[in-house]
Structure 1
Amino acid sequence: MGGLLFGYDTGQIADILLMEDFLDRFAQTNSAGEKEFSVVREGLVVGLLSIGTLIGAIVGRYFSDYLGRRKAIAIFCGMFSVGVLIQVTAFTSWVQIMMGRFISGWGVGGLSAAVPVYQAESVPKQVRGACTSTYQLAITLGILLAYAFSIGTRELDNSGSWRIVIALGLVFCLILGVGIFFVPESPRWLIEKGRTEEARRGMARVRGLDENHPLVNSDFDEQWAAHELDKRAGTGSWVECFLGEGKEVHNKAPYRTMVMIVMMAFQQLTGANYFFYYGATIFQSVGIEDSFVTQIILGAINVSCLFFGIWVMGRFSRRWPLIIGGIWQSCWLFVFAGAGVGGNPEEKKYGTLMIVSAALFIFSYASTWAPGIWILIGETGTRKNRSRQAALGTASNWLWNFLIAFFTPFITREINYGYGFVFAGCNLAAAVFTYFFLYESSGISLEMIDAMYSEPGLKPWQSGKWAPEPYASRKEAIRDEKSKGESMMLEHSEHGENRRRRFDSSDSQRTAAGPTPVAVHNKKAQPA
């Protein structure tokens, strides 16, 4: 739900900007007497959400560390709701819309920092990659839902055309804000606060096992040992994120911080939000009669390919999908920009080529850079400063989100579809950066990742072959973790089957024994 709110707020504005009632109320009148947003007003309405999310991402770290991940998530849902209410009560003031999106951004930004960390800390390491990928999957689903609801309301000739779309975000917010209290708190946070029994119960519940099961004990001991190391090293700080965690600690904390900041920036510089924010306007300009439908098609590709992307990031690795994805995306952006600059986009053949190249770009983005970056945000940070580094990385993502959202109208007015060449170059740079600077973190625990970054002389392009002690190879370590996960699932299945058999057996015995004696209705006679 946190990711869905992120995507829903991102996707809705592209179509709302074209709705007649919204234009009549908040746009300016041009020289031809038509309603039209100026580039400044359009940039602020679209982009100020991202400034709010940047602030929320930084502040979110404090809330999640001091109040717990669950309470922080609930608080940021409240902030998002306030922003939505400000927007839906606007009548003629575009500033009210802008500020409502800004306050909603606080909520979305806080969730974007807290939710991936909560996921990474709570789930078993055997399925961590798949589970944290669902955050990005939900983002794409939110974008698609925003497009779908916009198509459903666009024919309304009143303010309901855009108010309904914005207000529906409250439904998802309510599900998350209330539902988060029906799942366990992060065990890592509970251990830090000394609530070890509660942490053990939560770990057992998430894994579907008894509290004293060997796998629960093993995971608990691993996290407890990491906590003890953190205690001896002292509490973390923002300064340590950039200057290191002490002379005796060689875990590359500043390096990891900068990798997260740069990788999150590159996710925005791929150009995906160029299509998500302004896609309806782009495709309207190339002669597509119903640009809303085109947005739906791109959104559907985005969602469906995320399932493939989750499988790719879990099955193969983190590094190579990002490298290959960056190169593939660059190729199709060159095609998109070339068709737009070298040909006439209003001609069918060029317009079709641009749509196809945009779709193939989205296919790659959804399969690689979309899920991959949100997996890394929960894996790359150090034990002491993971939440701070995640907040810095997320803030970087939102800063570039704002810069792209705000400056795109200015840039496209000057160079039009040549903007695609800029993003094509950024994708190539992202692939090169990933090869030379990102360490391979797939298949191993967060504690093992910390040990990998602490390995003297290990280069990023060699990290895929690094193995934690006592394993001879990374594949052996992953096989062992996978076998543990399979045995956990088998044990859980057998445990459930045994419980069913015991229930069936006792039920048969009760049936054979006849009606329940009246004495059983006495409260004192009932078993505990």
Structure 2
Amino acid sequence: MGGQPVGPGMFKAALADTPREAFNWRLALSVVCFGLMGAARGLDEGLIGTTVTQKSFVSEYNLKTSVTMSKTELASKVGNITAMVQIGSVGGALIAFIACDKLGRIWATRQLCLIWIVGVIIYITSAGSYGQVLAGRFIMGLGIGQTTVVAPAYLAEAAPRSIRGLCICIFSGSVYLGIMLGYFANWGTSIHIANNTSRQWIDATILHLIFAGLILILSLFALESPRWLAKVGKTEKALLNMCKLRQLPAEHPYVQAEMLDIHDQLEREMEATHGSGFWGPFKELFILPRNRYAILLGLGCQLMGQWSGANSITIYAPQFFAILGTTGQSEKLFATAIFGVVKFVSALICAFFLVDFIGRKRSLSIGIIIQCVSVLYIAIYLTAVPTISSGEVQSTIAKHAGTGAIVFIYFSGVGWALGWNSIQYLIGAEIFPLRVRSLGVSLIMCFHFVNQYGNSKAVPLMLIDGSPGLSPKGTFWFFFAVTLLGLGFVWFFLPETAGKSLEGMDELFGLKWTLIGRKGAELTKGKGSVSESMVLGRGVKEIEAGYEGEDRVEDVEKR
């Protein structure tokens, strides 16, 4: 047991001991339903960043400098429109904690879809009203913000631990599906619909209604989380749903091990906080040292990821391509659309081949290094070639260097998709105990949207030459510094969680804080849960071969 490898080895062991029946259509349906929620954020980021550059939108809402509007005032107005969903999402993330815990994951999904749809309708019927645009986007945010709490929490709870990273990364991959579709929708409407009609941006925005409706319909066929059912005392229903999700009988050792771990953790959590009630989760989250470390870890990941620059580039991609010399509205939107494809493909690669197989920490480190090198090149380029004007630079060498900078914009997207974008949803859903999972993820995602709002507001101002801006080159030097700092943060503080059961995280976070990130996975392998010890012991398959009926259950309980 002591020689069991961590990372790929642990993943292979967990995968080998996961019954084939656990990979079934019911699990796939749940993963698709909740995974597609990532497209909510992605659609908004992909659409709004390009919508505010559409000629029809610019004309309808007067988004251009004039005698009465300076560059700073224009940047502020664009930032208000862009960031209003992030403001609403802060409230949405808070609502999600109550909805998840009181209504369950399924009904929380249904109500957020309805809020999302109402917000979109208000937004697209604004007809030139700046106030209605802000109101509609705020209400959209109340729905969209909930997706980042509800979906990762459900996926973490429903997925077998051997593919938990893959299932949660379907959500982060769907963020880029939304971004890619949003980019292409605006590029297509800019070509095929006249610039003088609001249909140009409204037709693209209807994608929101399509995805919200699809998720709402799929939720009618999805199963409620067995862990949430156990948490609210519906033990028989929890066992029934676990059996359906795994397509295994109740007496199967794999199901029994999972249920034993769930009930054991719930009992320990109740003892630690001396009861339940509304304030029970708050006490547990902030009083217990293991949970304090988890919440600080989650907040740190959000801070480092959001200010590393990649998300800013996603939202303001056309502006960044213009800075690096791409001219023409259609050309900028096309370059932006291809950027969306690159990020989407990278997110899928991370989900299917990296995050479970090589581990969260290695995948994130690789992504940060790619991102760091990319923003460093762009910062050096903008420092060395400061005189970019209307897409033209001073020499052939500088033009080639500018092409290289555009390529590195794409590489930065690859790094972000492999690294921070996947981890910012995955790690928060994994590290908290069941009773405080919704609250912990909710607080982390509130911080996420506060940071994103700050980003959306700050970046247009940061790009301005002179006060109050940093200029384009200063902005990229800032991104480089934060990315480098993030690499050190990951090495010291972030533990490897691949292959560990959700209930086994208590053992990991119970270590001394200086050991959790650097040596936690190695020191706690096979400890903390029945299901994990089965993988490192004789395994499910061996138990199946030697036991039948009640003997199986008794053996699992002894373990």
Q: Same fold (TM over 0.5)?
A: yes
Quick one: higher RCO (CA 8 Å, sep 6+), 1 or 2?
Answer: 2
Pick from 218, 222, 234 the counterpart of residue 195 of structure 1.
Answer: 234
* Conserved 8 A contact 1:259-1:438: yes
The TM-score, its normalising length taken from structure 2, stands at 0.81
Q: How do 1:219-230 and structure 2 match up within 5 A? A: 219-230=258-269
Q: Which moved more, 1:306-315 or 1:204-213?
A: 204-213
Name the aligned partner's letter for residue 497 of structure 2: S
Query: Is residue 537 of structure 2 the alignment partner of residue 466 of structure 1?
Result: no
How many angstroms apart in 1 are the aligned matches of 2:365 and 2:418? Answer: 12
Q: After TM superposition, give the deviation of residue 485 of structure 1 in Å.
A: 9.1
Aligned length: 480
Correspondence for 2:504 = 448
2:65 to 30, 35, 44: 30
Tell me if structure 1 keeps the 8 A contact 2:377–2:408: yes
Over the matched positions of the two proteins, sequence identity in percent amounts to 25
- Rounded to whole Å, the distance in 2 between the matches of 1:487 and 1:128 is 23
Residue pair 2:165, 2:356 contacting (<8 A) in 1 also: yes
- State how 1:330-369 maps to structure 2 within 5 Å: 330-343=372-385, 344-345=387-388, 346-347=392-393, 348-369=399-420
8 Å CA contact 2:359–2:496 kept in 1: the answer is yes
Among residues 319, 341, 359, which one is paired with 1:317 in the alignment?
A: 359
The one of 423, 435, 441 aligned to 2:491: 435
CA distance change for structure 1 residues 63 and 30 in 2, over 3 Å: closer, same or farther?
same
- Asked whether 1:3 is paired with 2:3, we answer no
Is 2:70 the counterpart of 1:19?
A: no
Q: Which residue of the other structure, out of 389, 400, 403, is the alignment partner of 2:451?
A: 400
What is the DSSP-based 3-state SS (H/G/I as helix, E as strand, rest coil) of the residue aligned with 1:455? coil
1:435 Cα shift? Answer: 1.6
CA distance in 2, matches of 1:450, 1:395: 24
Any idea what the Cα deviations from partners look like across 1:89-126, whole Å, max 9, x if unmatched? 01111221122111111111111111100111111112
Q: Tell me, in whole angstroms, the C-alpha distance in 2 between the residues paired with 1:63 and 1:349.
A: 53
Tell me by how many angstroms 1:72 deviates.
0.7
Aligned-pair CA distance for 1:68: 0.6
Pick closer, same or farther for the CA change 1:285–1:332 going to 2, 3 Å.
closer
Q: Which has the larger radius of gyration?
A: 1
Aligned ranges for residues 179-258 of structure 1 at < 5 Å?
Answer: 179-233=218-272, 234-235=275-276, 237=280, 239-240=282-283, 243-245=286-288, 251-258=289-296
Q: TM-score, normalised by structure 1?
A: 0.85
Tell me the distance in 2 between the aligned counterparts of 1:6 and 1:320.
26
The answer to which of 179-188 and 324-333 deviates more is 324-333
SS of residue matched to 2:355 = helix
- Per-residue CA deviations over 1:402-427 (Å, capped at 9, x if unaligned) read 00101111110131232111111111
Aligned-pair CA distance for 1:397: 1.1
Residues 33 and 243 of structure 1, relative CA distance in 2, 3 Å threshold: closer
Counterpart position of 1:492: none
| CA offset digits 1:281-319 (Å, max 9, x no partner) | 221343323011111111111011112212211111222
Take 1:482 and 1:428, find their aligned partners in 2: how far apart are those partners?
43
Aligned-partner SS, 1:154: helix
Moved more, 267-276 or 295-304: 267-276
Deviations 1:471-525 (A, max 9, x none): 9xx9x9696499659999xxxxxxxxxxxxxxxxxxxxxxxxxxxxxxxxxxxxx
Query: Structure 1 stretch 214-223 or stretch 43-52: which is displaced more?
Result: 214-223
CA distance in 1, matches of 2:378, 2:323: 14
Corresponding residue of 2:17: none
Q: Name the counterpart of 2:6.
A: none
Partner of 2:134: 98
* Alpha-carbon distance in 1 for matches of 2:511, 2:503: 13
Cα deviations by residue, 1:224-265 (Å, 9 ceiling, x for unpaired): 2222223333236464366313xxxxx521121111111122
Residue 300 (structure 1) aligned with residue 357 (structure 2) = no
Matches of 2:121 and 2:256, distance apart in 1: 46
Q: Secondary structure of the equivalent of 1:440?
A: coil
Gapped runs of 5+ residues in structure 2?
1-35, 394-398, 545-559
How much is the aligned-residue C-alpha RMSD, in angstroms? Answer: 2.6
